[in-house]
Amino acid sequence: MKWGTLDMQSKTSLIKSEILKTIFRSVGWVSIVYFLGLFFAIPLDIIMNSSGEQRKFLDIDNLFQYNFQLQFIFSISVPVALSVFLFRFTQVKQYSDLMHSLPVKRESIFHQYALTGIMLLILPVLLIALIILVLYQPMNLQDFYSMGEILNWVGITLLFNIVIYLTGVSVGMLSGLSAVQGVLTYIFLLLPVGLIILVSINLPFYLFGFPGQYYMTSKFEKFSPLIAFTQMNMRTPSNVETAVYLILIVSLYFLGLQIYKRRRMEAVSHALVFPITKPIFKFGVTFCTMLLGGGYFGEMQGGTSWIIAGYVFGALIGYAAAEMVLQKSWRVTIHVKGLMVYTAIMAALFLLFQFDLTQYEKSIPQSNEIERVHFSESFHLYNDIDHEEPLYLKEYENIDLVRRFHEKIVKDENRQAQDSGRGSVFIVYELKNGEKLVRDYSINKREYKPYLKLIYESDEYKMATNEIYQVPEDETTKITITPSGPVTKRAVITDKEELKEVVQILTEEVDTASYEELQGIDEPYAHIEIYYNDSKKAYMTWNPSYTRFEEWLKEKSLLNDAKVNSNDISYALAAKAEDIDINFAAGYSYEEVFEKMTESKSSIKITDKEQIESSLGNSNGYIEGDYIIAFYFDEQRTMDIKSFTEKTVPEFIKERLQ
């Protein structure tokens, strides 16, 4: 291929066998080490775990799963090491003078070195694949994966290795120091991801509503081969990814070649060979450390003064470090002019975002532009991997409602800053023109209850968030009601008529549930699973507000099995929270609390069934109240611990604890 065409060009730019020889002499060992490492990681592992007993515990369905950490370490280090050692001759002055006084064109030198390097990466992988192929039949590897997996492994490993290697080569052409080449290579490989993280942390400080997490988490790994490789034991790269990497390989190769051809050999031993890259590097580092400093202080301390202090501090450290690298000395001279220009640009950027000159904060699409809108309390509900499709509202009224709510939040921006509340709102507008507008706010939910109530109580929202609406009454086959609590009992309904009734009742209960009831912090009585259409299953909880459902269960004598009651409990212990010697904020276990309550003289024991029943009804699932109550469950010999507030505590407990 490449070499063949070179042969044609002229007699003097033939590949020189002695150049290939010197390449093998100087970096052949890298290839050998890589081979041995891979041999240790894969074929040896296959052989050592070949007994029937060991095979039972093997959970392997592709080749990456053999010592994946080792393979990962090799794939990120070997190509970079190879690129550094291979191009040593561009980083050592006398070596460079020797090589570049030879009657060989630079282009030819580059092709010979770079391609031989690729070969040195390919050979060990192919050899290992060959060994595995030989082992495939005798070791019965078909029990774990098909032969195609071997090819897959070769392809993916080489794809990543070569991308990383050629990044190292291209960076090496920019730098005159091997150490800088190595470090810069990794910086480049991580740069896109790093920048996304830094920007996502910093922009929310200025842009009210900027969904940092959305940008940080979505398709994050695709922007760095190093991070993408960590997933190769679980997934194969998509076609698009593969294509991008292939394009990267070709472009990096020719980029490296072009840079090498333009490289001035006198700049060997300078950190950066091309003068124009120096300010880019210097201010690039300054910018990144500035964002890092501001982001760190902003997250840890909060407040504008801390953020600014973080910026100044980060920028100064980054600037000094970059200058040290460039000037190769601890004592650096500072060029004030450059620094001033940088400060001016940063100030302009600050103003741009701080005063929202881009209109980012105020831009809310018109209702008629919106196709549909996702509205939830967290990015994670949008990006939930278990659900294929997140919730969307499509009805005009609801879209308009979300929009108006959004407007209100934006209008209240200054108030939010002071009391960034406990709740958050995550909105994704999908516009008719295909664009997306994503916002993330942290708000005080109580203040916006009217809006939230309207949205949550809307039919569309309820339909979208409750699976019960998908259940056809006639095709329901079974319903199980599992009480929440340490009991093994449960209620099961299979009668056709009864099933129909329950589904109707439950649907009505959800229909009529108010925002307050839906948002209530009460623990659900039970978890309900509704089986329908043979294999499908809908899931919901029994909210304490569903009283008609409770009555129905009572009528059918199912209540006892559907809900924890005093029959499950042999006794309860109650005490004032302050009397129990436990620091709840620091973490605790139920056993610990129970033990302390048993020992405590100030706690009381309740055995009366009626009193237990009323305690069950009034207590709350969180250990936050003024009174703590521990229920002892006979059946599993475990306890459940709940609490009362001053308001909900039953009279008899209050009296006895006086």
Partner 1 sequence: MIKIRNVRKSFEEMDAVENVCIEVNKGSIYGLLGSNGAGKTTLLKLLAGIYAEDEGSIAIDGQPVFENPQMKDKIFFIQDHPYFLPQYTVKQMAQFYKNIYSMWDEGRFEELAAIFEMDLHKKIHRFSKGIQRQAAFILALSARPEVLILDEPMDGLDPVMRKKVKSLLIDEVAEREMTILISSHNLREVEDLCDFIGIMHNGRMILEKDLDDLKTDTHKIQVAFKGSVPAIFDSLKILHKEKRGSIVICIVKGDAKEISSYVEQFKPVIFDMLPLTLEEIFIYEMGDIGYAVQNILD
* Cα torsion angle, 538, 541, 542, 545, sign: negative
Nearer of residues 13 and 643 to partner 1, judged by Cβ:
13
Cα–Cα dist 594/580, whole Å: 10
Helix or strand run (H / E) with residue 376: strand 370-376
Q: What is the CA radius of gyration of the chain?
A: 33
Nearer to partner 1 by Cβ, of 110 and 208: the residue is 110
In contact, 628 and 597? CB cutoff 8 Å: yes
Q: Is 439 helix (H, G, I), strand (E, B) or coil?
A: strand
Q: How far is the CB of 140 from partner 1 (least distance, A)?
A: 46
Q: If binding is defined by CB under 8 A, does position 61 make contact with partner 1?
A: no
Q: Which of 55, 106, 222, 527 binds partner 1 (CB under 8 A)?
A: 106
Length, in residues, of the chain: 658
Among positions 1, 5, 25, 535, the unique one binding partner 1 when judged by CB under 8 A: 25
Q: Which of 7, 61, 97, 508 binds partner 1 (CB under 8 A)?
A: 97
- The one among 2, 7, 26, 551 contacting partner 1 by CB under 8 A: 26
Closer of 95 and 350 to partner 1 (Cβ): 95
Q: Which of 580, 602, 597, 584 is nearest to 632 (CA)?
A: 597
DSSP state of 87: G
Kindly tell me the burial class for residue 27, based on how many C-beta atoms sit within 10 Å of its own C-beta (0-12, 13-18, 19 or more). Answer: buried
Rule CB under 8 A: choose which of 22, 258, 442, 484 binds partner 1: 22
CB of 268 to partner 1, least distance (A): 10
Part in contact with partner 1 (CB under 8 A); list of ranges 18-26, 310-318, 335-343, 378-386: 18-26
Would you count residue 102 as binding partner 1 (CB under 8 A)? Answer: yes
Indicate the SS3 state at residue 349: helix
- 499 with 537: CB under 8 angstroms? no
Among 24, 58, 67, 100, binds partner 1 (CB under 8 A): 100
CA–CA dist 424, 40 (Å, integer): 50
Q: Which of 4, 8, 17, 59 binds partner 1 (CB under 8 A)?
A: 17
**Where does this chain touch partner 1 (CB under 8 A) — which range of 71-79, 119-127, 261-269, 629-637?**
261-269
Of the pair 101, 433, the CB lying nearest partner 1 is at 101
Segment interacting with partner 1, rule: CB under 8 A, options 104-112, 163-171, 361-369, 517-525: 104-112
Q: How far is the CB of 113 from partner 1 (least distance, A)?
A: 13
Query: In this complex, which beta carbon is closest to partner 1, that of residue 20 or of residue 127?
Result: 20
Stretch that binds partner 1, among 21-29, 112-120, 339-347, 349-357 (CB under 8 A): 21-29
Site string for partner 1, 67-96 (x = CB under 8 A): ---------------------------xxx
Is 539 one of the binding residues for partner 1 (CB under 8 A)? no
Q: Please state whether beta strands 638-644 and 627-633 pair in parallel, antiparallel, or not at all (unpaired).
A: antiparallel
Our CB check for partner 1 shows the closer of 270 and 642 to be 270
Q: Quick count: other Cβ atoms within 10 Å of Cβ 574?
A: 27
As a whole number of angstroms, the distance between CA 112 and CA 95 comes to: 17
53 binds partner 1 (CB under 8 A): no
Rounded Cα gap, residues 346 and 432, in angstroms: 36
Residue 550 · residue 467 · CB < 8 Å = no
Rounded (to 5) percent helix, strand, coil in the chain = 60, 10, 25
Does 4 sit near partner 1 (CB under 8 A)?
no
Cβ(96)–Cβ(265) below 8 Å: yes
Instruction: Using alpha carbons, select from 587, 518, 595, 505 the residue that is nearest to residue 553.
Output: 505
Stretch that binds partner 1, among 101-109, 119-127, 296-304, 360-368 (CB under 8 A): 101-109
Contacting partner 1 (CB under 8 A), which of 2, 3, 12, 179? 12
Tell me which of 29, 69, 235, 264 binds partner 1, using CB under 8 A. 264
β-bridge pairing 476-483 and 526-532: antiparallel
Per rule CB under 8 A, count of chain residues that contact partner 1: 27
Among 234, 238, 275, 634, binds partner 1 (CB under 8 A): 275
Shortest CB 18 distance to partner 1, Å: 4
Q: Of 127, 128, 141, nearest to 46 (Cα)? A: 141
In the complex, least distance from residue 104 CB atom to partner 1, rounded to whole angstroms? 6
**Helix ranges, 301-335 (H):** 304-327
In angstroms, the CA 406 to CA 207 distance is 14
329 binds partner 1 (CB under 8 A): no
Q: Which stretch binds partner 1 (CB under 8 A): 103-111, 229-237, 492-500, 549-557?
A: 103-111
Residues that bind partner 1 (CB under 8 A): 10, 12-13, 16-19, 21-22, 25-26, 94-98, 100-106, 264-266, 275
